[in-house]
Amino acid sequence: MDVQIESSWKALLQSEFDKPYFKELTDFVKLEYQKKAIYPPGKFIFNAFNLCPFDKIKAVIIGQDPYHGPGQAHGLCFSVQDGTPFPPSLLNIFKEIQNDLGIPIPESGNLTRWAEQGVFLLNATLTVRAHEAGSHQKKGWETFTDEVIRIIAQQKEHVVFLLWGAYAQKKSEMIDKHRHLVLESVHPSPLSASRGFFGNHQFSNVNKYLKQHLKEEINW
């Protein structure tokens, strides 16, 4: 199957695109876009991959679902398009960065600048129906994104994986902690942020680890 995706990822994932489950997933997603309002817009489905080629990856943040409100999702987990109010989890992420590194809360919640520096912002499910959280789960996306995580973990060295909340933390079993740094925390949502997300200093810890391994730090 010919999937429009950045060339380094295409080479790595072509065998996955050729599997029967991915054909079924693609047929399902195409039909959903024809019948319903689906987020993100189709051109942004593989935005995380297109903005962060494989060789540039320094850190990985794993989300669950795209945002399901209008004008929000654009293919990067936790990120929203310019001009969109911050969802609560994203605001808490910015608050922790401010507490940790003294960086003021930005005007835009668009995290493209992180992706371009090598932060791979991957949702486990890459599409969703408008106003129906989880509506595209268990259709094949998780099989695909689990393979993406495995490939990163197996073929790269010294990547930082940020696993926030129980869902993301389940992915840790695919990651060799001798080759990579895994930072786990509660989710930044208002329900849990005060139970350990605030004060976890993960953003400064990412940069410490990158510096130790002679990689350029992230400008959060």
Query: What are 152-211's pLDDT values in tens digits?
Result: 999 999 999 999 999 999 999 999 999 999 999 999 999 999 999 999 999 999 999 999
Whether the upstream peptide bond of residue 106 has omega within 30° of 0, thus cis, is no
Residues in the chain, overall count: 220
Active site residue 55: no
CA dihedral 6, 111, 85, 108 (to 10 degrees): -120
Query: What are 43-100's pLDDT values in tens digits?
Result: 999 999 999 999 999 999 999 999 999 999 999 999 999 999 999 999 999 999 999 9
* Residue 210 burial by Cβ neighbours in a 10 Å radius (0-12, 13-18, 19+): buried
113 sits in the region (left: phi over 0; alpha: psi -120 to 50; else beta) called alpha
Instruction: Give the active site residue among 65, 100, 146, 176.
Output: 65
Query: What is the rounded CA–CA span in Å between residue 80 and residue 108?
Result: 8
Query: What are 143-152's pLDDT values in tens digits?
Result: 999 999 999 9
Give alpha helix (H) positions in 52-119.
88-101, 112-116
CA 58 vs CA 21, 54, 80, 183, 202: distances in Å: 29, 9, 21, 13, 14
DSSP 8-state class, residue 60:
E
- CB-side neighbour CA atoms (13 Å) of 14: 7
